[in-house]
Structure 1
Amino acid sequence: MKKIYTKLPLGLQNLVLTLINTYKYYQKYGAIPIFNPLKKIIQELDVSKFNDDLVVERINRLISYATANVPYYRKNKDLYIPLKTVKDLERIPILKKSTLKEHNGDFISVEANKYNSYSFKTSGSTGTPLYGAIKNSELRTRFEMFLTSLKIEGIDYSRPLARFPGADLARTGKVFRRDFINGHMLFSIYHLSDAKICEYHKALSHYKIEILEGYPSTIVSLVRFLKANKLSLPYVKHVLTTAEKLLDNHRQEIEEFFDTKVFDFYGSSEGSVYMFSTKEGHYLNSNIIGFFECVDENHETVKLNESGRLIVTSFSSSYTPLIRYDIGDYATIISSDRDVIKVKEIQGRQEEIFITPQGKAFGRFSLILKYLPSTIMESQLILTQRSNKAKIEYISVIELSIDNFELFEEKLNSLLEMNFTFEYQRIEKFDKSKRGKLSAVKIYT
């Protein structure tokens, strides 16, 4: 299908994208052009329904359904006893990712089929991809909460929007494709360069784009190319980021350029929890979508303001149930009143934690990466666990000397209390993941 798409004239490519996007908006939001447009759906959303006090009831409904309809949970029914309080959740075993992968097919409901559910497959960025099914009605609930969270922050998703998805949708011709029914645009993330930035700027300005949505690394790269060419985007009012860890220095750079707060949101392909960054400076979880705990390496609940592994119980994936699922990410809860969870920070995956030769764990690379030379458009710090070798691969209009990295080296050595051996390599482009992601830090074992 992709091969046929890329050979079509640009006008037909836009038509194909419009039809696909319109179907996806119906699937996600129930949007139907003219009859039930996205704008009307957003206007009717009730922001007070982002959280409620029915967490225990939802967990028990999930357990009841899973033990009756999902092979893995039917086999282990005795381990999944209904709760009286949220505290009782700790009696249920933690579901490890290795178990989910090994018995993947047994985690899918016998009721799931191609008509009543949406099939998903994770990116497999941390190993073998996971697959499963999400009930159509639960998928819609999930995206309804996404729109509600935007509305809470004063963002109307029906306004002119440009998304930068990790898809090769503009291989030839213009760097964007346009959905002319919804007025939304999809831009290539693979052609961002000093040579092409004027094309991006012209299109974003011409269509008066108000909302940008993409990976943090993509939006930062866009900002840096715009700044380097003394270009601005005055119509942009909101920036949405997701799918990669939003580093503090990247957030600051984006917010200063667009003079707006970044709306960062967290979720997963398998339909886990959903939370977003608020203007108050924390992330707010929707307990309509899921509940989670933070535990230490011994699976004991950590105290508030302490970092812990996210243990997810999802209410929007009953066809592939996640009950106390160790998703592999770290976060810090600052409050959990009446089952409404506020998070100080999402630290990212365990794979993003570097262990020094002395056994010290470190993951706050945003404290260091902001000291890289400002002329760098994109970069990746490459480390090996328990090694003192560090490499920076970077994209820059000009070749940089070792002297340009002096401050960066000083900060990395100081914070990790080490003496690294550094290597720098200027490259033309990064070999990004299939979905276009670029991790700011890559750590090998």
Structure 2
Amino acid sequence: MMYSFLLKNFLLPFGDKFLGGGLPKKIKELQGLTRLSAVELKSLQNQKLGKVLQYAILHSPYYQALDISPSADPEEFLSKFPILDKQTVRDKIDQLITKKSLDGLQAVMSSGSTGPPSKVYFNKEEMAATRAVQLTWWSWAGYEYGNSILQTGVNLNRSREKRIKDIFFRTKYIEALKHHEDEMLKELHDLRKKPKDHYVAYASSLYLFAKTALDHGLSDIRFKSVISLGEKLLPNFREAIEQAFHCKVYDTYGSSEGLMVASQCSHGSYHIMTPHVYLEVVDENGNEVGPGEMGRVLLTGLDNYTTPLIRYEIGDLAIKSKKTTCDCGMELPMLEEVLGRTTEFLKTPQNKYITVQTVVRVLKFFPEVEQFTLIQKTENSFQLQYISKEQLDECSQQKIKESFETLYKESFLFDFQQVELLPRSKSGKFQLIINEVHENV
């Protein structure tokens, strides 16, 4: 209790003076906004939408060139903007940003799950707004200032700001790129000695840790809650995680470009963070679908003026909820389901797991690979099907193979196949990895 008081009233304000951005104020404001009525929330969203659209056509060279005339109605104004795809963001980021200098800005890389990663820029206030949404979502999962956290991520080389954040928020940060059973068992045994209050991680990481705990009969590891991010949380994942760690899983949905879309409340509803983002779910013709219908996700950020992302298509499918009220009391609108890419696992001969995040992070360094699917053919042979303007040369193929071998300290056989179309799941989504060897990892 004492540390919670110190963190909220002294450490966070002190850290904000050092780092900037106004995080404590933004958290307080956002938590107040989530208690507004549906009418008030819609009014606020439209006000912020009109403001960011007007700013974009005045200050972003990309949007200036489109010669879009403003409208008094923000939603009518929005409909005049074309859908923004990831290739355009990658190719025209210099025209999208509204600042003449990158000094003082922070670059955020997309995950690269739908092609080469793109880069989006934020100033300190905009980054704080994104962080405020995250902490608000954590509060829905029972997080209180001072609670301890176990978190997995793809980059252990934490920046100064993130290292300070980890200390303040009592966070232990571990690698998510590869999971060997021995490494997971070590972390699980550490948790038995030094428990953490909350576990925040990619869905695949959470599942693998839970599966390992269940397989080895480690039944005394408990969290107050588990928070899933970054990947589709499959039903069997949720079941295993809740069984292993004796708590509820709270799933979150956002994009790695800093757009925080929706999170589950205590009643399991996915509430859309309308003060932060404008969400459209559209059909193939770009028309809004009705409640209960599936469509393509388009996002418009309401807090990032440095890199305005307007009607940005992130490659996901979602279903709008038919519900208009939730027992949690919040009147934020809801999504029924997010249909992300099916998360599977590949397993090496030495029983190490290759996850979607691993493959994405390796191929991130080969931008000539625009899209890909990695298929495990046998215990140690893999086929990389890829879309690229030119065929990968032998040097690039060897470097990709060596990247996986260095990461896992094993030898693999790799076959590379340039294709025009990649395999899709029944929902129409690209499958980033396909396991033809292990039916159930």
**Same structural fold, with TM-score higher than 0.5 when normalized by the shorter chain:** yes
Give the residue type in structure 2 aligned to 1:210.
D
Whether 2:237 is the aligned partner of 1:250: answer yes
Paired with 1:291 and 1:102, the residues of 2 have a C-alpha distance of 24
Alpha-carbon spacing, 1:394–1:179, altered in 2? closer, same or farther (3 Å): farther
Alpha-carbon spacing, 1:215–1:233, altered in 2? closer, same or farther (3 Å): farther
Q: Following superposition of structure 1 onto structure 2, how do residues 250-329 of structure 1 map, counting pairs within 5 Å? A: 250-329=237-316
- Cα deviation for residue 165 of structure 1 reads 1.0
Give the residue type in structure 2 aligned to 1:91.
K
**1:271-294 deviations in Å (ceiling 9; x for gaps):** 224211223232111111111111
Q: Secondary structure at the match of 2:319?
A: strand
Q: Secondary structure at the match of 1:256?
A: helix
CA contact (8 A) 2:300 2:309 kept: yes
Of the structure 1 ranges 155-164 and 305-314, higher mean CA displacement relative to structure 2 is found in: 155-164
Paired with 1:342 and 1:184, the residues of 2 have a C-alpha distance of 30
Q: Which of 336, 349, 353 matches 1:344?
A: 336
CA contact (8 A) 2:254 2:260 kept: yes
CA contact (8 A) 1:63 1:82 kept: no
Give the residue type in structure 2 aligned to 1:47.
Q
Q: Following superposition of structure 1 onto structure 2, how do residues 3-42 of structure 1 map, counting pairs within 5 Å? A: 32=15
Q: Secondary structure at the match of 1:101?
A: helix
**1:75-104 deviations in Å (ceiling 9; x for gaps):** 22x325234153553333222223222222
Q: Secondary structure at the match of 1:103?
A: helix
**1:127-167 deviations in Å (ceiling 9; x for gaps):** 22211311211211221122122223422253111111112
Paired with 1:193 and 1:315, the residues of 2 have a C-alpha distance of 40
Q: Following superposition of structure 1 onto structure 2, how do residues 23-102 of structure 1 map, counting pairs within 5 Å? A: 32=15, 47-50=31-34, 52=41, 53-76=43-66, 78-86=67-75, 89-102=78-91
Paired with 1:39 and 1:70, the residues of 2 have a C-alpha distance of 26
Whether 2:189 is the aligned partner of 1:202: answer yes
Q: Which of 218, 224, 232 matches 1:237?
A: 224
**1:11-34 deviations in Å (ceiling 9; x for gaps):** xxxxxxxxxxx9xxx9xx766299
Alpha-carbon spacing, 1:428–1:330, altered in 2? closer, same or farther (3 Å): farther
Which residue pairs with 1:149 in the alignment?
137
**1:354-387 deviations in Å (ceiling 9; x for gaps):** xxxxxxxxxxx68xx89xxxxx9857799xxxxx
Paired with 1:119 and 1:63, the residues of 2 have a C-alpha distance of 22
**1:300-347 deviations in Å (ceiling 9; x for gaps):** 111111110011111122111011112211111115869943101110
Q: Secondary structure at the match of 1:120?
A: strand
Q: For structure 2, which runs of at least 5 residues remain unmatched after alignment?
A: 1-6, 159-164, 326-330, 346-350, 360-374, 381-407, 413-429, 436-441
Q: Secondary structure at the match of 1:137?
A: helix
- Cα deviation for residue 224 of structure 1 reads 1.3
TM-score, normalised relative to structure 1: 0.66
Which residue pairs with 2:394 in the alignment?
none
Q: Secondary structure at the match of 1:129?
A: coil
Give the residue type in structure 2 aligned to 1:60.
G
Which residue pairs with 2:96 in the alignment?
107
Paired with 2:192 and 2:250, the residues of 1 have a C-alpha distance of 21
- Cα deviation for residue 107 of structure 1 reads 0.5
Paired with 1:48 and 1:180, the residues of 2 have a C-alpha distance of 27
- Cα deviation for residue 109 of structure 1 reads 1.0
Q: Which of 215, 220, 226 matches 2:213?
A: 226
Give the residue type in structure 1 aligned to 2:121.
A
Which residue pairs with 2:126 in the alignment?
138
Which residue pairs with 1:435 in the alignment?
none
Whether 2:150 is the aligned partner of 1:127: answer no
Give the residue type in structure 2 aligned to 1:96.
D
Paired with 1:276 and 1:130, the residues of 2 have a C-alpha distance of 24
Q: Secondary structure at the match of 1:32?
A: helix
Q: Secondary structure at the match of 1:195?
A: helix
Q: Secondary structure at the match of 2:90?
A: helix
Q: Secondary structure at the match of 1:255?
A: helix
Alpha-carbon spacing, 1:229–1:394, altered in 2? closer, same or farther (3 Å): farther
CA contact (8 A) 1:282 1:343 kept: yes
Of the structure 1 ranges 292-301 and 106-115, higher mean CA displacement relative to structure 2 is found in: 106-115
Paired with 1:303 and 1:132, the residues of 2 have a C-alpha distance of 31
Paired with 1:39 and 1:394, the residues of 2 have a C-alpha distance of 48
Percent sequence identity is 23
Paired with 1:163 and 1:347, the residues of 2 have a C-alpha distance of 24
CA contact (8 A) 1:292 1:310 kept: yes
Paired with 1:140 and 1:67, the residues of 2 have a C-alpha distance of 24
Q: Secondary structure at the match of 2:259?
A: coil
- Cα deviation for residue 72 of structure 1 reads 0.6
Paired with 1:259 and 1:101, the residues of 2 have a C-alpha distance of 42
Paired with 1:144 and 1:208, the residues of 2 have a C-alpha distance of 26
- Cα deviation for residue 181 of structure 1 reads 5.2
CA contact (8 A) 1:69 1:111 kept: no
Which residue pairs with 1:6 in the alignment?
none
Paired with 2:90 and 2:178, the residues of 1 have a C-alpha distance of 35
Alpha-carbon spacing, 1:161–1:340, altered in 2? closer, same or farther (3 Å): closer
Q: Which of 420, 433, 439 matches 1:442?
A: 433
Q: Secondary structure at the match of 2:182?
A: coil
Alignment size in residue pairs: 343
Paired with 1:112 and 1:269, the residues of 2 have a C-alpha distance of 23
**1:42-67 deviations in Å (ceiling 9; x for gaps):** 99576341362312211111122112
